Amino acid sequence: MLLALHQKENTPLHTLSVRTSEEMFALQDRLHGKLALLLKHRDIVAGVLRAYIPAALVDHLGLPKILRTLSTPELRAYRDAILTEEAGGLGALPARGGVG
């Protein structure tokens, strides 16, 4: 992605890296603020978890069991971090029109 932007804009890679990182962090912050709404979109949650968790583990345990485990009080913060960081990095939500 950065190489394509570099070729298109002729902007130094370091500058692009900093800019895209800042944009991703801003998106992650927005997603964290809308986490309750994000969690209501089960198809998005499933897609993000499938992108993050190895397929062999999903196949072995099943997504419902993984989600139940990640929704326990001990692991909820980890689940939330996965959802906000991965959804932000994948661009999963903007492609679907966002959550808010």
Whether the pLDDT of residue 89 is over 80: the answer is no
φ, ψ of residue 76 to 5 degrees: the values are -60, -40
Domain presence at residue 14 = no
Q: What tokens appear for 24 in the block?
A: 């991703």
Kindly tell me if the per-residue pLDDT of 35 is higher than 60: yes
Query: At residue 5, does pLDDT exceed 70?
Result: yes
Q: Is 88 in contact with 52 (CB distance < 8 Å)?
A: no
Say if residue 85's pLDDT is above 50: yes
Residue 9 lies in a domain: no
How many CA within 13 A on the CB side of residue 12?
Answer: 3
Mean pLDDT of the region 39-45: 91
Instruction: Provide the domain limits for residue 85.
Output: 26-95
Flag whether 55 is in a domain: yes
88 band by pLDDT with thresholds 50, 70 and 90: low
Please report where in the chains the tokens 């929704």 appear, as a residue.
Answer: 71
Q: H or E segment at 81?
A: helix 76-90
- Do the domain assignments include residue 13? no
- Residue in this structure with the two tokens 């800019």, named with its chain if needed: 19
Indicate whether 13 pLDDT > 80: yes
For the chain, the residue count is 100
Mind listing the pLDDT tens digit for each residue in 46-70?
999 999 999 999 999 999 999 999 9
